[in-house]
Amino acid sequence: MKHTFFISILMAVLLNSAVPAFGQEDTVKKSRKTVTDSTWNQWNVRLAPYLWILGIKGQIALPPEPANLPDIPPPIEQLPSGYSIHDIDISPKEVINSLKFALMLSGHFHIKRFVTQFNVSSIVLESTFKAPFDWAFQDNLFRLAYAGGDLGFGYRVVKSRKFEFDLLLGLKFVYSKIGITTDIFGSYPVSIKVDRFWTDPVLATNFSYSPHKRIELAAYGDLGPNLLNDNFTYQFSFHANVFITRFFYMSAGYRKSYLDFAVKESFFAGSLQGADVKFGFQF
């Protein structure tokens, strides 16, 4: 009886000491998990280089002769400066065949409910052209450079486990450059280059929905009416992001950027649109 009573007391003491220990361990694990999740939700940085397989459709203003470009329709208007305006419709395949340079990068950062993001895309297309007199003009080269992007600052209006919605104010910029080079009689190089830079404020939105912890459906849109003239721009994109790990993700989607302003001032007006693929990381 004495031994039984002693063993019962010893078991009770061990159990009483063990329960708080297990409870404390669970509390510590839960606390660590909460801190990690809280930190992850409070701030996030994403950077993603991407490939935009775009087509170009709109109007372009070309310098005067000797620019007699192949596959370009006749001019729809002749400007007093001698520049001619042409309708163009360049497919993604044609863009890839003429591509000489491309740089595309997007980034996103948020801390608590404050959001900052940017997107930059730059392409250089280059092709040969036929001049009016082949015996006089040789090594004819036409180059079109385009760089566009946007920078936004905003606030996360809706924030939950599955839904997020942001409102942003920012700036959009567009830089276009057209160049023509040729050799006269093979001995006298001639080069014509013109460029324009344009910027405007925009109002933008982000929306994301996460049906699964590794899948995110995202949409972006911006609108940029110019208060000083009739220029008008908009842009939208849709993407499906798949998080391979906590730090790396892939994205596939569609993006369109539309620019509507005076061709004679910008040398290009129209849309760039097509599918894009991102390979990004976050921390």
Q: What is the pLDDT of residues 163-195, one digit of tens each?
A: 999 999 999 888 888 888 888 777 778 787 888
Distance CA(236)–CA(219), nearest Å, equals 7
Residue ranges of the domains in the chain?
Answer: 45-282
- Rounded alpha-carbon distances, angstroms, from residue 92 to 82, 99, 144, 271, 278: 30, 10, 15, 13, 17
Kindly report the length of the chain: 283
Distance CA(2)–CA(7), nearest Å, equals 9
Task: Average the pLDDT over 36-58 and give the result.
Answer: 79
pLDDT tens digit sequence for 222-251: 998 665 566 788 999 999 999 999 899 999
- Rounded alpha-carbon distances, angstroms, from residue 141 to 179, 210, 272: 8, 48, 23
Task: Average the pLDDT over 22-46 and give the result.
Answer: 52
| Model confidence at 30: pLDDT above 60 | no
Hunting for tokens 């276009």 — which residue is that? 176
Distance CA(205)–CA(115), nearest Å, equals 11
Residues pairing with 190 in the sheet: 182
Hunting for tokens 């404020």 — which residue is that? 201
Verdict on whether the full-model pTM lies above 0.85: no
134 or 143, which is more confident: 143
Determine the topology of domain 45-282 in CATH. Answer: Lipocalin (2.40.128)
- Rounded alpha-carbon distances, angstroms, from residue 27 to 17, 18, 35, 38, 234: 16, 14, 12, 16, 51
| Model confidence at 42: pLDDT above 60 | yes
**Residue 69 CB-half CA count within 13 A:** 27
Confidence grade of residue 279 (pLDDT, cut at 50, 70, 90): very high
| Model confidence at 17: pLDDT above 70 | no
Task: Average the pLDDT over 94-105 and give the result.
Answer: 92
Confidence grade of residue 123 (pLDDT, cut at 50, 70, 90): very high
Helix (H) or strand (E) holding 126: strand 114-128
